[in-house]
């Protein structure tokens, strides 16, 4: 199965998650390609369009992932626009928007979508947390500012294994894996 994403960090985390959790029935090959993102208010709609594109490109079973950081005091912003906001405002810009806010609650969401040419399946994972007061070192994307619930440190300060214990990605991937194993015989090769 191909994991299609321009982001090698996502692939590395997923590879490690599969290994660590003994999810050995799934062999993923990374196809490092940027898929187009439609504008939509729903993460699973974006993921559905992306996974169709991925299938059109490779004609094999494909897996893609789409994420968003939803900040409570900003009414869910940047949400589905997280990628654009990260590229334009960055973590500094997010902290500026939260300068006078005491509510630092946020949710990181991951949608994993699978398509084998017949049915699209999507799986949503999320992790609640807080936006830190300062940018910490390490990690990628929003890792330096996102502290998962029940943790002392932000994702950026954790090693891969620790981040994977909490992450939105883990939750979506485990759901997908369970479904995949149950349905593997019905899935068209």
Among 83, 90, 105, 135, binds ligand IMP (CB under 6 A): 83
Q: In the complex, what is the shortest distance from the CB of residue 26 to ligand IMP, in angstroms, rounded to a whole number?
A: 19
Among 51, 66, 112, 132, binds ligand IMP (CB under 6 A): 66
- Secondary structure (DSSP) of the chain: -EEE-S-HHHHHHHHHHHHHTT-TT---EEE--PPP----S-HHHHHHHHHHHHHHHH-S-EEEEEEEEEEGGGTT-EETTHHHHHHHTHHHHHHHHTTT-S--EEEEEEEEEEESSS-EEEEEEEEEEEE-SSPPSSSSTTGGGEEETT-SS-GGGS-HHHHHHH-HHHHHHHHHHHHHHHHTTTS--
Q: In the complex, what is the shortest distance from the CB of residue 65 to ligand IMP, in angstroms, rounded to a whole number?
A: 6
Among 1, 30, 73, 86, binds ligand IMP (CB under 6 A): 86
Q: Please, which residues bridge with residue 157 across strands? A: none
Q: Could you give the angle at which helices 8-20 and 168-183 cross, rounded to 10 degrees? A: 60
Nearer to ligand IMP, 41 or 183 (CB): 41
Is 82 near ligand IMP (CB under 6 A)? Answer: yes
From the list 28-36, 54-62, 65-73, 171-179, the region that binds ligand IMP by CB under 6 A is 65-73
- Residues marked active site are found at 66
Query: How many residues of this chain bind ligand IMP (CB under 6 A)?
Result: 15
From the list 51-59, 82-90, 97-105, 174-182, the region that binds ligand IMP by CB under 6 A is 82-90
Contacts with ligand IMP in 119-158 (CB under 6 A)? 140-143, 155
Q: Site residues (CB under 6 A) for ligand IMP?
A: 7, 66-69, 82-83, 86, 140-143, 155, 167, 169
């Amino acid at each position: 199965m191909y994991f299609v994403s321009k982001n090698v960090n996502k692939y590395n985390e997923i590879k490690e998650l599969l290994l660590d959790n003994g999810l050995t029935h799934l062999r993923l090959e990374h196809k490092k390609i940027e898929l187009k993102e439609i504008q939509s208010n729903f993460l699973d709609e974006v993921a559905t369009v992306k996974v169709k594109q991925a299938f059109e490109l490779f004609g094999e079973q494909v897996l893609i992932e789409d994420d968003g950081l939803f900040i409570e005091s900003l009414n869910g912003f940047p949400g589905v626009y997280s990628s654009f906001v990260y590229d334009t405002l960055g973590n500094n810009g997010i902290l500026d928007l939260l300068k006078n806010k005491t509510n630092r609650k946020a949710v990181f969401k991951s949608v994993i979508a699978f398509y084998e040419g017949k049915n699209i399946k999507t799986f949503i994972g999320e992790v609640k947390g807080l936006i830190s007061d300062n940018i910490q070192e390490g990690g990628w994307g929003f890792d330096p500012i996102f502290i998962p619930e029940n943790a002392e440190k932000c994702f950026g300060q954790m090693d891969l294994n620790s981040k994977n214990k909490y992450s939105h990605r883990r939750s979506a991937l485990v759901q997908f894996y369970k479904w995949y194993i149950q349905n593997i015989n019905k899935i068209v090769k």
